[in-house]
Amino acid sequence: MSEKHVVVQGATCKCKFSVAPQTDKLKVLTQTKDFGNDKDGSKKLIATDKEIGQTLEKNTFGNCILQPTSGGYLPCITVIIKWSNVYDKFTLSNQGKILLEDSKATCPIGGPDCISIDYHGQKTEGSNTNSKNANEQVHSQLNPMVDMKDMTRKQADGLGLTLSK
């Protein structure tokens, strides 16, 4: 089984019954303690299967193919009633199971698994550890304008440390 990303605050979702495919961002409203991969642990709340009801920013995916009218289609009003394909081996502080990038949501109009995760919401953020672990030869080829040794020395000098040259 391949690795799957955990879904976090700001993940984008889409509905397979949207007339013109649109996405909407997921808001984590059910917990405030468990964070994803942001380096400060303050922005990316982990989404769980407790994110039900109107838990998207706009709560719409545009017009819904399943609601035809004589003049077109009625607008979608997104209401999530259930999540499937969740990571059930761990429970967060809100008693919820973690959503994964292949989790799907059920809408009362679209039915089971009509809403999917388009993007899990996680971003890679650089940190001091990344800089320390960087391969100097590779870095100098990718970015020849920056001398990693000089940068490390300046950083150490600022901290009052002494490095051998």
Q: List the domain boundaries for the chain.
A: 12-119, 128-158
Beta strands in the chain, from DSSP E residues, in sequence order: 12-15, 23-25, 63-69, 72-75, 82-91, 97-107, 111-119
Is pTM beyond 0.85? Reply is no
Q: How confident is the model at residue 12 (pLDDT cuts 50, 70, 90)?
A: very high
Q: What is the pLDDT of residue 1?
A: 42
Which amino acid is residue 42, in one-letter code?
S
Contact criterion met (CB below 8 Å) for 65 and 110: no
Q: SS3 for 75? A: strand
Average pLDDT on 56-76 reads: 95
Residue 60 has phi, psi (to 5 degrees) of -160, 150
Quick one: 160 exposed, middle or buried, by C-beta within 10 A (0-12, 13-18, 19+)? exposed
Average pLDDT on 69-77 reads: 95
Residue 7 CA to residue 11 CA, distance in Å, equals 6
- Which of 24-28, 124-128, 136-140 holds the top average pLDDT? 24-28
Residue 147 CA to residue 42 CA, distance in Å, equals 32
Beta bridge partners of 126: none
